[in-house]
Structure 1
Amino acid sequence: MVDVKKALVTVLISVVVVLLLADGATVVQACLPSDRAALLEFRSKLNEPYIGVFKTWKGQDCCKGWYGVSCDPKSGRVSSITLRAISEEPIFQRAKRKGFMTGTISPALCKLTHLSGVIISDWDGISGVIPSCVTNLLALRHLDLVGNKISGVIPASIGKLAKLRVLNLADNKISGGIPPSITRLTMLAHLDLVNNNLSGVIPGDIGRLKMLSRLLLTGNKLSGQIPESLTRIYRLADLELGMNRITGPIPASLGKMAVLATLNLGGNLISGAIPGTLMTSSIADLNLSGNLLAGKIPNTFGPRSYFTVLDLSNNRLQGPIPGSITTASFIGHLDVSHNHLCGKIPTGSPFDHLEATSFTYNSCLCGKPLGKCRK
């Protein structure tokens, strides 16, 4: 009887083992030797002596305990590399005062063919170029190289990365144009190229990026006009094109975008009149300062007008501040300084909490908080 029980237990254990092996989700594979070799080759082009990020990159299993490396539990293939400089840990703060990671991004990265995420951000000292072979990483969903000294161009075939959702190359030294193929990234939700040396025009068919919610291009040398197709990206919430060399008028259709909350066009060469649609839109943070805008401030404000920031300063605007502005539901900060405005400043909200600097350097504005108007 005892032997029968032992036999049954042995059978049950065998069944459980078979079931576990059949369920791939429960089996964690060690990393492939080829992936480990690629990681070490990638590591050899980087130098980080202060924090010791790469001290854990030892042993045969790169899927276990290697800082910043994640693997697919089913295949054992390396699926992401996450190396961020900024952390709440005091040791990281001390290291940033002493020095940074330096080196370049090795093309060996491209040997990790199952990568879905690459984050190498805020080290300030990483230079070189983006390896063009990165566009062969067809599983890539997240590419974040923000806050380094990367130069060169955005790979021309970036549009091959059909699964890409986040592309963040901000705060680098990238030059050249925005590749036309970028408009093939139809899954892209976040595009941040702020503070680089990009030139040329914004692709005319950028409206193909229907999933885009943030388009951040401030601080480059982009020229040309704002593409009309851009206003057909119905998910777009943040559009920042400030500090470029953009010309032409502001498309009135920008004010008809359903969820656009931030529009920064400041510091360009934009001309023409301000579309009245912007004053009754969903935009809460509107910066049109430092352009060549002329004509009058639209008298189209109403209860739907809600601005945390409304900056129209440093333009060529004329005429009075429109009376309808007092019907806005809220205006937190208003700046119309450095224009050619004239007439009495309206009374009531929001003017009862604004300072004189919001109205200075105009032709003949008067009234509180400036001096009294002449009779």
Structure 2
Amino acid sequence: MFPFIELIFTFFLFLTLSSSTTAYRWRCVPEDRQILQDINKELNNTMSNAWLPDEDCCQHYIGVYCDSDTSRVNAIAFNGVPISRIPPSLARVPYLRQIFIHKIPGLTGEIPEFLSNLTGLTSLEISWTNVTGPIPRWLHRLPNLAFLVLSYNRLTGTIPPYLFDLPNLNWLRLDRNQLTGSIPEAFGRFKGNSIFLSHNMLTGPVPKSLAHIDWSQIELQWNRLIGDPSPLFNNRSKTLWQLDLSRNLFDFDLTAVQIPVDKLYRFDLSHNMIRGSIPKEMVNATSLGIFNVSYNRLCGGIPYAGQLLQFDNTTFFHNRCLCGPPLSVAC
């Protein structure tokens, strides 16, 4: 996801959380405050300046959010807090629905199983850390989970098929890890419309089951995927705006692929083994801002018109026999 889009998405989540702290009927529930103090002890008083014992945890504890009707703590965010482990008492917060752990490089070890006790959890983000191990098998015990972000970590192993049996999961990010194996066929049961698996070590073809999903964003770059992924975006989707398949081993004929250009902003197929020619409908992609087909095996004249006029020769070079402007090779 582009930084500005991610910022908007994070801001939306923040507004969702913040809105629940505007009108309290009661002060912080003593049970919740005591658990927060226990969390602080488990973190060696890391939160001592942010979670003062005598203050209202709903209004004054940084990173703590409460339900406006009950004043029960329902969300906790550890963003940039210098912690080295996830505190066990976090699983004791009875009405916790959202956990955000972001940009904490000192956080190591595996994602702890005690989080599976939070069966009401709807959002879980652990990103930009150094957590290791596989994607937890216990995630299937969280039936309400809708938002799962485990990107920018050091997770290993394969993508577990049971993730896609979660009945409410519609946002999933697994990019920037060290995941191996293939994309499971079970991904076709995913209820979201964005796939973020870039910068891993995934192999094999893209499952055919993914072709029926009306994708909005497809990020598969920097893997070792093979074959023909064009069914992903060959369905005349009206919502696709970002497609990045760069730096894989994809090998297919681009000539007859029907690229949905209505909302397309990013189109990057560079560093593959793609054959054929550039489809002429690319000149009709009026929102196109990023385009790259370099380092492939494409041939034929470049349809250098419309939005494609904004791109220089680096967008097209190192192909087998592409010709015409902006390249210096005449057709």
Q: TM-score interval w.r.t. the shorter chain?
A: 0.7 to 0.9
1:94-127: CA deviation from partner (whole Å, max 9, x where unpaired): xxxxxx6131112321112321111121122222
Aligned residue for 2:307? 330
* Secondary structure, aligned partner of 1:201: coil
CA distance in 2, matches of 1:148, 1:115: 22
Structure 1 gap segments, 5+ residues each = 1-24, 86-99, 332-349
In the alignment, the residues of structure 2 paired with residue 250 and residue 42 of structure 1 have an alpha-carbon distance, to the nearest angstrom, of 46
- Report the equivalent of 1:308: 289
In structure 1, give the amino acid aligned to 2:119: L
1:263-303 Cα offsets, whole Å, 9 max, x none, are 11111111222263343444331111111223x11444266
Match status 1:38 vs 2:35:
yes
Q: Which consecutive unaligned segments of at least 5 residues does structure 2 have?
A: 1-22
Shift of 1:56: 2.6
User: Which of 208, 218, 237 is the aligned partner of 2:216?
Assistant: 237
Contact 1:279-1:305 at 8 Å conserved across structures: no
Specify the code of the residue in structure 2 equivalent to 1:357. T
How do residues 122-161 of structure 1 correspond to structure 2 at under 5 angstroms?
122-161=103-142
Instruction: Give the distance between the partners of 1:207 and 1:167, measured in 2 at CA.
Output: 17
Residues 149 and 172, structure 1, Cα contact 8 Å, conserved in 2 = yes
Work out whether 1:71 is the aligned partner of 2:69. no
Aligned pair in 2 of structure 1 residues 60, 330: CA closer, same or farther (>3 Å)? closer
Offset from partner CA, 1:124-173 (integer Å, 9 cap, x none): 22222211232332221221121111112221131332322221111111
Equivalent residues of 2:147, 2:172 under 8 A apart: yes
Preserved contact between residue 183 and residue 203 of structure 1 (Cα < 8 Å): no
TM-score, normalization: structure 1? Answer: 0.72
CA shift in 2, pair 1:31/1:369, >3 Å: same
SS at match of 1:266: coil
Pick the structure with greater CA Rg: 1
Residue 321 (structure 1) aligns with: 301
Give the AA of the match of 2:65. Answer: S
Report the 3-state secondary structure (helix = DSSP H, G, I; strand = E; otherwise coil) of the residue aligned with 1:81. Answer: strand
Pairs within 5 Å for 1:24-173 = 27-28=25-26, 30-33=28-31, 35-46=32-43, 54-59=49-54, 62-85=57-80, 101-173=82-154
Alignment of 1:212-291 (within 5 A): 212-234=192-214, 236-256=215-235, 257-274=237-254, 276-282=256-262, 283-291=264-272
- Any conservation in 1 of the 2:283–2:304 contact (CA below 8 Å)? no
Instruction: Report the secondary structure of 1:220's partner residue.
Output: coil
Q: Deviations over 1:19-75 (max 9, x none)?
A: xxxxxx974253243x334333333343686xx674334238543422211223444
Amino acid at match of 2:53: K
Q: Match of 2:233, SS? A: helix
- Residues 320 and 194 (structure 1), Cα distance of their counterparts in 2 relative to 1, 3 Å cut: same
Distance 1:310 1:171 in 2: 25
Q: 1:221 to 1:48 in 2, by over 3 A?
A: farther
Taking structure 2 as the reference length, the TM-score comes to: 0.80
Structure 2 residue 312 is the aligned partner of structure 1 residue 355: yes
For 1:48 and 1:247, the matched residues in 2 are separated by: 50
Q: Which whole-Å CA distance do the structure 2 matches of 1:173 and 1:59 have between them?
A: 38
RMSD across aligned positions (CA): 2.9
Percent of residue pairs identical: 28
Inter-partner Cα distance in structure 1 for 2:201 and 2:122? 27
TM superposition shift of 1:218? 0.8
